[in-house]
Amino acid sequence: MDITEVTVVHHVALVLAALWAAGNAGWAHPALFLLALVYIFAVNGRYTMRLKKRLQFEEKRSANQRRLLSDAETVRWLNYAVEKMWPVCMERVASQQFLLPIFPWFISKFKPWTARKAEIQSLYLGRNPPMFTDIRVVSQSTDDDHLVLELGMNFLAADDMDARMAVQLRKRLGFGITANMHITGMHIEGKVLVGVRFLQQWPFIGRVRVCFVEPPYFQMTVKPLFSHGLDVTELPGISGWLDRMLDVAFGQTLVEPNMLVIDMEKFASESESTDNWFTVDEKPPIAHAKVEIMEGADMKPSDPNGLSDPYVKGQLGPYRFQTKIHKKTLNPKWLEQFKIPITSWESSNLLSLQVRDKDHIFDDPLGNCSISINKLRGGQRHDMWIPLKHIKTGRVHIAVTVLEDENGKYLVTKMNCVEHPRRGKLAHQGLVFL
């Protein structure tokens, strides 16, 4: 079974078995059935999200395959070479000498507040090597790299992959106990940008810079303690942390213009004391988008009283924000503004907005919309009403101003906080380019 397939049937069977056992034990309380129903809804929501993510990626991959790259070359020879070298030495270099030293940096940055310590105890990537789908030379480089390659990569681990991670919970939360997780499957697919700078002496390669051209498709299977049982990434509580960590680590921190920079002289050194052979180059913002969420109109009634409790969730790149909830209205007046950093004009910089109705358990969708920030440059304030999609009625009133300056001067302005997935909430008083 592919690791992207979610075993919802297993969860349903587990719940039915638990209810049957509880009924035989005389614990057939209505609250138990309500809890089981909430759990099934949560797992189903998780399944729907993963399926939607997979379908979106398949659509994007099909579009890329239909696009003819005149400067692309066949990579059969490269895949053949990697296939022969992988079991001999390449897997060990990739897992033991490259990934194992890098993982502690990412885990220390992205581990949840509930964990005191997390570490990778062992790592074996399996017998399947990564497969390259295409390769092309980028003729122009804005930096001092001598050679820049763009490679299409697809890594689907075999069933013999074995990685073990230990997470120690904080004492006040989990009495300091250590939970072991067994990673048994991994699938990562996307376009990788590799920049190389050469030397005239050994090791002849002085620096390698690696990043994804765009957020890759990433999925993994994690089992508790043993290699059998349910995939714990499907459990509602654990899935949120894992998805958040992987999304930030692979979908944002290592996506252009941010790069993983490898000092090959230190990496190839035989000295055991040599460390710090890699750095993560995170680019500072080159502009800011001031997003004003002013009001909504004609919202869909979602509550039994014929009204809704609407709020707006937004995202631009790795930054997320949310307005306050307005109770019992179909025409909310939010009047809130957010400052969002922009790190590159090469990416799509798509501002996504979701309007939702606040409920006790599950929030109902009231429509969504999106707009490209790249089309709004120039410093003017763009005031607009946008109709909501995937719903019959509803529209939102927003204004967007892109602020950028070549000299990089700053102006302190008071705005609502914006949340970064790794840094948390940014300060209420932020810096905006003049």
C-alpha angle 222-223-228 in degrees, rounded to nearest 5: 135
Helices (H) and strands (E) in the chain, counts: 8, 22
If one compares 235 and 61, the residue with the highest pLDDT of the two is 61
Range of the domain at 34: 1-67
DSSP 144-181: S-SEEEEEEEEEE--TT-EEEEEEEEPHHHHTT-EEEE
If one compares 153 and 249, the residue with the highest pLDDT of the two is 153
Same domain, 217 and 302: no
Distance between CA atoms of residues 285 and 79, nearest Å: 38
Tens-place pLDDT, residues 90-149: 999 999 988 888 888 887 777 766 677 878 889 999 999 999 988 888 876 667 889 999
Same domain, 241 and 208: yes
Same domain, 40 and 77: no
* Nearest Cα residue to 321 out of 395, 426, 401: 426
Place 411 in a pLDDT band, splitting at 50, 70 and 90. very low
What CATH number is given to the structural domain containing 317?
A: 2.60.40.150
CB count within 10 Å of CB 119 equals: 15
**What's the distance, CA 312 to chain centroid?**
20
CB 294 within 8 A of CB 398: yes
Which of 39, 67, 95 terminates a domain? The answer is: 67
If one compares 52 and 231, the residue with the highest pLDDT of the two is 52
Helix ranges (H only) for 175-307 are: 236-248, 264-267
Q: Say which residue the tokens 């499957």 belong to.
A: 185
Tens-place pLDDT, residues 45-93: 777 877 887 787 777 777 666 554 444 456 888 999 999 999 999 999 9
Same domain, 124 and 213: yes
What's the average model confidence in pLDDT over 7-32? 81
If one compares 220 and 150, the residue with the highest pLDDT of the two is 150
Tens-place pLDDT, residues 155-210: 999 989 988 888 777 776 656 677 777 888 889 998 999 999 999 998 899 999 99
Same domain, 137 and 119: yes
Decide if pLDDT at 417 tops 90: no
Same domain, 325 and 420: yes
Same domain, 47 and 119: no
What's the average model confidence in pLDDT over 238-243? 56
Same domain, 265 and 293: no
- Neighbouring residues of 62: CB distance < 8 A, sequence distance ≥ 6: none
pLDDT at residue number 413: 37
Which of 67, 89, 123 terminates a domain? The answer is: 67
Same domain, 23 and 48: yes
Which of 45, 67, 89 terminates a domain? The answer is: 67
Same domain, 91 and 232: yes
Q: What are the structure tokens assigned to 377, written together?
A: 């440059």
Same domain, 58 and 83: no
Provide the edge-to-edge strand list for the sheet that holds 319-322.
364-372, 350-357, 310-316, 319-322, 419-420, 424-425
- Neighbouring residues of 67: CB distance < 8 A, sequence distance ≥ 6: none
Give bridge partners of residue 396 from the DSSP assignment.
Answer: 296, 386
pLDDT at residue number 424: 43
Same domain, 277 and 336: no
How many structural domains are present in the chain?
A: 3
